[in-house]
Chain A
Amino acid sequence: MRRRTLLTGSLAVAAAAGVSTAAGSVAGTGPVITVGSKQFTESWVMGELYAQILTARGFQVVLKSNIGSADIIDRALRSHQIDLYPEYTGVILQTFAMPKSMPVTAHGTYEAAKRFEEGRGLTLLRPTPFQNRNAVAVRASDARKHGLRTVGDLRRMGRISYAEYPDNITGPLGYDAIVKAYRLSAMKVRPLNIGLQYPALKNGDVDAADVFTTDPQLRRYDFTVLEDDQAIFGFQNVSPVVRRSLVERYGSRLTEPLDAVNALLTEKAMQALNEAAAMMRLSPAKVADRFLRANDLK
């Protein structure tokens, strides 16, 4: 068992070394940091922000964008394929830690997620002011007609359908959890890939949809986001997850630039960055570059 772990570890390191050599994009003589990001716009932009600020501060950075699900990127971090990546505080608890009850504040969520990661030899740096939470949206016309304010008000609409992405039907933020928490027994699920829920809701194919609060697509249509007064969606600020040994080795040289970027990421700022990338279709690299320059960080 032990031998097997060692073998796997050395192969993984060899493979990682092979990749960074092959990438060949790193320049300079500073320490090498590999930044990862997940498979959606907001994560690409944040990965670019981290990579570019660290490059500007003398690190050699390899950016591995587009890494699978939370599980895959977490495994990549723990097997030293990447050194850090942006993660949502609530996701860390809901996906990995799975506590019996969720914290009731953003701060509590961050602290609990940080404690959990430190138990695994990792840590969280300072979180962003913005959150990207799941939320339930309806057409504004329906909200007016039926007087909808909270998710529970959906009961007034009777038999309705709810757009949910396939990964999130049974989870703690998913369809089943909403039905249970808000007693919405007349609401049926309609599985749809992420991104398709917005046009489906607009066209009347569904009556309510799981949306993301910082997704610029949300603002393209005339939707109303319902209040989650049962607080089932948790708190989702973003923080870089990084191995503790790296923080000990580089200290503020590593943490200060990342903290500086994170501090600027208010909800308004993140929405603007997401919109530039997702709606104006500028590359995440360009979006991050302009933001860092505008804020004198580059």
Chain B
Amino acid sequence: MSSALLAAAGPQPVIPDFGTVSSCVRDNGLFCVDWFTANFSSMFGPALVQHVRLTVIAVGVGFLIAFPLALLAHFRRRLVKPLGGLTSFLYTIPPMALFTLLVPVFGLSVLTAEIALVSYTLMVLFKSSLTGLGEVPEEVRRAGEGMGLTRREILWRIELPLALPAVISGLRVATVTTISVVEVAAFIIDQGLGSPIIQGLQSPFNTQFIGAGLLAVALALAADGLIVLVGRLLTPWARTRRTV
């Protein structure tokens, strides 16, 4: 063999005994509970925690950027189109392309992943916040002015509270979307629930795909439910209005 040319009489390796596995694992059964539970603490648990962290940072930072931009556009209407256009443009870049473009500049880092993830949250958060702020009927605002409220007071007492339901529904969409895009981030950082899925692609193993997939679905449902709950607590009047 020509490969022997390179292996100039090297030492012979000792191949260790790697033990045995269940027939479900060896035959790639649909879902091997034994393997899933055995690997939860080393594979799925940490991936889930990373997934939550990546999502919370992306949506949090995204909101801190998008909400002030929406406020700005609310007061300076001529900014609505350019800002809306910019956030929509960012939203249309395919995730894989954006991740790859950012790697030479920011490295194979969490920072690269977060820059991309944040830019995908901006459109939804910007538009929902702007819509919410604009939902206040003109006559209500004029009534406020008639009562002697300043522009700032109208914002704080009338516009922001009325904007909350729209902002919260924007947060729900952004969070659920981010939870699914974080899976793609595993192409550049070895984190999140996409990591076991990508690792399983080369030698397919059903339990790994289904386990990570189910956890991502459960996470999306839980996060959505949590935001709905917090939203209800923050807007008690909305509930009253609904029940009346």
Interface residues of A (CB under 8 A from B): 8, 11-12, 15-16, 18-19, 22, 39-41, 44, 64-68, 72, 75-76, 79, 81-82, 105-107, 110, 127-131, 193-196, 215-217, 235, 237, 263-269, 272, 275-276, 278-283, 287, 290-291, 293-295
Residue B128 CB within 8 A of the other chain:
no
Q: Which of B10, B108, B205, B208 has the most CB of A within 10 A?
A: B108
Q: Are A76 and B103 in contact (CB under 8 A)?
A: yes
Q: Which of A127, A129, A294, A295 has the most CB of B within 10 A?
A: A129
What CA separation (Å) do A237 and B5 show in the bound complex? Answer: 11
Q: Are B4 and A129 in contact (CB under 8 A)?
A: yes
A-B contact count (CB 8 A): 145
Residue B14 CB within 8 A of the other chain:
yes
Residue B237 CB within 8 A of the other chain:
no
Q: Are A291 and B3 in contact (CB under 8 A)?
A: no
Q: Are A194 and B202 in contact (CB under 8 A)?
A: yes
CB distance from A209 to the nearest CB of B (A): 15
Using A44-B199, A64-B108 as known contacts, say yes or no to A269 and B43 having CB atoms under 8 A apart. Answer: no
List the A side residues contacting B97 at CB < 8 Å: none
Q: Are A106 and B108 in contact (CB under 8 A)?
A: no
What CA separation (Å) do A263 and B8 show in the bound complex? Answer: 9
Q: Are A130 and B3 in contact (CB under 8 A)?
A: yes
Q: Would you give the 0/1 interface string for B169-196, flagging 1 where the beta carbon is closer than 8 Å to chain A? A: 0000000000000000011101000010
Q: Are B103 and A75 in contact (CB under 8 A)?
A: yes
Q: Are B107 and A294 in contact (CB under 8 A)?
A: no
Chain B residue at minimal CB-CB distance from A42: B202
Q: Are B21 and A15 in contact (CB under 8 A)?
A: no
Contact of B190 among A66, A76, A110 (CB under 8 A): A66
Q: Are A75 and B25 in contact (CB under 8 A)?
A: no
Q: Are B107 and A280 in contact (CB under 8 A)?
A: no
Using A11-B106, A66-B199 as known contacts, say yes or no to A280 and B26 having CB atoms under 8 A apart. Answer: yes
Q: Are A283 and B3 in contact (CB under 8 A)?
A: no
19 A-B interface contacts by CB (under 8 A): A12-B107, A15-B109, A66-B186, A66-B187, A68-B188, A72-B100, A75-B104, A76-B107, A82-B108, A107-B2, A196-B204, A264-B13, A268-B13, A275-B18, A280-B18, A281-B205, A291-B13, A291-B15, A294-B15
What CA separation (Å) do A101 and B240 show in the bound complex? Answer: 78
List the A side residues contacting B89 at CB < 8 Å: none
CB distance from A62 to the nearest CB of B (A): 11
List the B side residues contacting A269 at CB < 8 Å: 13, 15
